[in-house]
Structure 1
Amino acid sequence: MGGYGPSTTCFSKALKLVGDRVEAAFGDAVRVRYVWNIMDLGYRAEDILWLVESGILSLGYQSSSYLTDRVPELGLADLPFLFADNDAARAAMDGALGDWMTSRIEAQCGYRILGWFENGFRHVSNRLRPVRSAADLAGMSIRVLPSDVHARSFALLGATPLRLDLTEAIARIAAGTLDAQENPLANTVTYGVHRFHPFHTLTGHFYVSRPVFVCRDQFDGWPLALRETLRAAVREAVVAQRVLTAEEDDDARGAIAAAGCTLITPTAGEHATFVDAVAPLLADAEATYGSAAMRLIRQE
């Protein structure tokens, strides 16, 4: 099993829970090994995709945005300001939207999707100035995930979006050659961004999930009992990870404040400027993805 964060993150702890459940069920018949952070071995964060698909790793996770080039329909879940809160987002991912995304990935990639970890709502940090409204993003270079929807969103917000792997983004942030980035607060702290970015704005512009995927060729060849145990373990881990991610968010707020950074919560009027700026993208979504897909978002 593998990921791209330290062993202390909620994602790594969730993987350990999965492994523990499998080992408890099968004892010496199954040996579970972990690569917590493939970036420590010189890989890029996006490499987790081919490492699992090729069977070098058996199981991993990655933000669904990384798959949008191969599975364009996943861009539906990348649209900005889709969900009001975690409850609404989780209901969608636990229901028809998550099932639909699973079917689209499995139809076009060599994975079995066993569940969805929560990466959560994303917020903007930057090195230049406080961001309270969309106008404050004008001209900022900002790292985005490899998603055309994300890039278009920030272009509409007036920023200059750059699709960069996490490894490159971290290096450029440290060097001062990248103005801004967007991530859940826990990720911002995990990767040390708050040491370089003094301004953090709670925009909540995207909600991103991370599929937990297994190499399909391996999974389909395993005994039924192992497959069923693994699916059940991932279901349990998803619930546990959601609890842990809330704790990480609280800890991250404390770390950002302790570093002397400014944490900005836009007013309702200021928040509306972000929503209004990306309205053309949302208006085009039904034509792009179809009315049936949009009903999944609205949970109709």
Structure 2
Amino acid sequence: MNKILKWLTLTMLLSIGVLVTGCSSDNTGGNASAGEGAKTINVSLPLGPESHHDAGVQKFKEELEKNTDGSLTVVPHYNNELGGEREVVEGMGIGTIDAGISSTGPIGGFVQEVMMWDMPYLVDEAEQAYAILDGDIGDELAGKIEKQANVVVLGWMENGFRNETNSVRPVETPEDLKGIKHRTQESKVQIDTWEAFGTNATPMAWPEVYTALQQKVMESQENPLATILDVRFYEVQDYLNLTKHVYSPAPLLMSKQLFDSFTDEEQEAIMQAAKVATKHQRIASQDMEEDVKKQLVEKGMTVTEPNLEKFKKAVEPVYEKWAPEIGEELIKEARNTEY
């Protein structure tokens, strides 16, 4: 019995060590690909295992270990274990968190041009978003994020197109959203968008959303289908409305302080692993889409596919207000990107 207690105590101490340290020299334990004394990069994920986020991080881990002969490895921390997205981005900026996936909403507080991705109906297809992110605009945004937030963009993974859910009624037109209590991310553009749709829009930190919907403090939220399933919003929301109002990137980010601590060879290995993982994650995200929709129907959600023209018309004032602030030429270039 004493041996068992000793083993359990050691295991708990090692687990705590992973959580409180940044890039460590501890072995990851049970990972055959990681060498003895491998440096560990702890990565924060908003979602859980087997999510489209996890698909990207697991591929990143696999490629990184392969590229470094196991001297660098990755440990994912799921479901905001290390904090909400804003906390994680801020933590990376000051070097207390290694790496993480975040939506672009919180990053807009550091780099105003990133708020472009909060603009409703900026793109109609995922392929157009990829062309923007993988081209000059994506490079420009990544450079500004690194300079102004002290965070390195390793790759532009995706959340996907966001859709509205609520516990009140199906939505065919913006008029159906009038008066509904809607949760937005902490983004002024998003607040204005949902007010243009007629909701009572309120920003709320991500970890609080499920409980707010459960308690009817909020009645509505919006997210990609994979997130809606992963967070089990079907338990507290009856209606899924395929508004596809925003395409949401989910950049894989790393503390610049940590990134700069690696050798040139390690930095190259990290960037190459992230490039492969980003492509893999996007494919996994798209492959999940139809299956996830079917699962949400099976779990009792009523799915509506509204005509989007009225929604696009409703948010024209958002462009009139925010395009000059974010950059009219930037938005024009993005909307005209060929793919």
Shorter-chain TM range is over 0.9
Is 2:104 aligned against 1:64? yes
Distance in 2 (CA, whole Å) between partners of 1:273 and 1:266 is 9
User: Is 2:310 the counterpart of 1:273?
Assistant: yes
User: When you count helix as a share of all residues, which structure comes out higher?
Assistant: 1
SS at match of 1:34: strand
| Higher RCO by CA contacts (8 Å cutoff, separation 6 or greater) | 1
Report the counterpart of residue 290 of structure 1 in structure 2. 327
Equivalent residue number for residue 30 of structure 1: 72
Q: Which residue number in structure 2 is paired with residue 15 of structure 1?
A: 57
Equivalent position amino acid for 2:161 in 1: F
What amino acid maps onto 2:325 in structure 1? T
Shift of 1:143: 0.9
SS at match of 2:105: helix
Note if contact 2:44-2:100 (Cα within 8 Å) is conserved in structure 1.
yes
SS at match of 1:197: coil
Q: 1:32 to 1:90 in 2, by over 3 A?
A: closer
Is 1:263 matched with 2:303? yes
Which residue number corresponds to residue 133 of structure 1? 173
Distance 1:88 1:44 in 2: 29
Quick one: which amino acid aligns to residue 238 of structure 1?
T
What are the ranges of 5 or more consecutive residues in structure 1 without an aligned counterpart?
A: none
Say if 2:253 is the partner of 1:216.
Answer: no
Letter in 2 for 1:296: E
From the superposition, tell whether residues 228 and 169 of structure 1 become closer, same or farther in structure 2 (CA, over 3 Å): same
State the shift of 1:53 in Å.
2.5
Partners of 1:45 and 1:167 within 8 A in 2: no
Task: State the 1:149 CA deviation.
Answer: 0.5
Task: Rate the CA distance shift 1:99–1:31 in 2: closer, same or farther, 3 A.
Answer: closer
State which drifts further: 281-290 or 92-101.
Answer: 281-290
1:155 alignment partner, one of 195, 200, 205: 195
Kept in 2: contact 1:96–1:299 (CA 8 A) = no
Map of 2:225 onto structure 1: 185
Report the Cα distance in structure 2 between the residues aligned to 1:242 and 1:287, rounded to whole angstroms. Answer: 31
Q: Counterpart of 2:195 in 1: which secondary structure?
A: helix
Report which stretch shifted further, 181-190 or 276-285: 276-285
**How far does residue 31 in structure 1 lie from its aligned partner after superposition?**
4.2
> SS of the counterpart of 1:38?
coil
Q: What is the distance in 2 between the residues matched to 1:240 and 1:143?
A: 31
CA distance in 2, matches of 1:276, 1:231: 40
Q: What secondary structure, in the 3-state scheme, does the structure 1 residue paired with 2:213 have? A: helix
Q: Which amino acid is 2:220 matched to?
A: A
Q: Distance in 2 between matches of 1:113 and 1:283?
A: 30
- Alignment match, 1:225: 265
**Secondary structure of the corresponding residue to residue 143 of structure 1:** strand
Q: Is the 8 A contact 1:124 1:182 kept in 2?
A: yes
CA distance in structure 2 between the aligned counterparts of 1:244 and 1:191, rounded to whole angstroms: 18
Amino acid corresponding to residue 207 of structure 2 in structure 1: T
CA contact (8 A) 1:142 1:159 kept: yes
TM superposition shift of 1:107: 1.9
> Percentage identity across aligned positions?
23
What one-letter code is carried by the residue in structure 2 that aligns with 1:10?
Answer: H
Question: How many residues matched?
Answer: 295
* Structure 1 counterpart of 2:23: none
Q: How much does 1:264 deviate?
A: 0.4
Quote the Cα distance in structure 2 between the aligned partners of 1:31 and 1:71: 30
1:52 aligns with 2:89: no
Q: Which amino acid aligns with 1:16?
A: Q
Query: Which residue identity lines up with residue 170 of structure 2 in the other structure?
Result: P
Q: Matched residues in 2 for 1:56 and 1:16: separation? A: 22
Deviation at 1:20, TM superposition (A): 1.7
Q: 8 Å contact 2:212–2:218 — kept in the other structure? A: yes
Change (3 A) 1:118 1:244: same
Q: Report the 3-state secondary structure (helix = DSSP H, G, I; strand = E; otherwise coil) of the residue aligned with 1:60.
A: strand
In structure 1, give the amino acid aligned to 2:218.
L
Q: Is 120-129 or 11-20 further displaced after alignment?
A: 11-20
Do the aligned residues in 1 keep the contact of 2:154 with 2:251 (CA within 8 Å)? yes
- Specify every segment of 5 or more residues in structure 2 that has no aligned partner in the other structure, as ranges: 1-42
Distance in 2, Cα, partners of 1:28 & 1:288: 46
TM, length-normalised to structure 1:
0.93
What SS is found at the alignment partner of 1:161?
strand
Asked whether the equivalents of residues 225 and 293 of structure 2 are also in contact (C-alpha less than 8 Å), the reply is yes
Contact kept in structure 2, 1:135 and 1:157, CA below 8 Å = yes
State the distance in 1 between where 2:271 and 2:99 align.
12
Residue in 1 that maps onto 2:160: 120
Contact 1:127 1:180 in 2 (8 A): yes
